[in-house]
Amino acid sequence: MIIGVGIDVAEIDRFAAALERTPTMADRLFVGRELWLPSGQRRGTASLAARFAAKEALAKALGAPGGLRWTDAEVCAAETGQPYLRVCGTVAERAAELGVSSWHVSLSHDAGVASAVVVAEGDPGGARARPDEEPRNAAG
């Protein structure tokens, strides 16, 4: 069952300017592996902008809660090049609360714009309450 869908776009030039203005920004947004291609070359700005859009889309798919850490979501690529998400920490906790068990992600960049769509899939009935949270009943 689809639990949430998120979409985001990022202007590549604007994203590049932000990275240039704030040299530590990339380290705050990305896990180290996200910055590099398998060949060892640094990933291009368009690719990074698409990964940033995926993280924004992921937050939207989770209901855009506050407190998510950018580096608790990693946009990875399978050997085929297909993107997938690896989550931990704050993102994994929110996903578990909602019953998310799998992700679908699509990235694109063209004509100066990067975009991403994220679909969170799972069983909301399988969601577990946090230890400090009262269980929810069906009457809500």
Q: Which residues are annotated as a binding site?
A: 8, 56
Looking up tokens 């009457």 gives 139
**Residue list for the binding site for Mg(2+):** 8, 56
> Cα–Cα distance between 46 and 48 in angstroms, integer?
5
Q: How far apart are CA 5 and CA 109, in angstroms?
A: 19
CA 38 – CA 23 distance, rounded (Å):
23
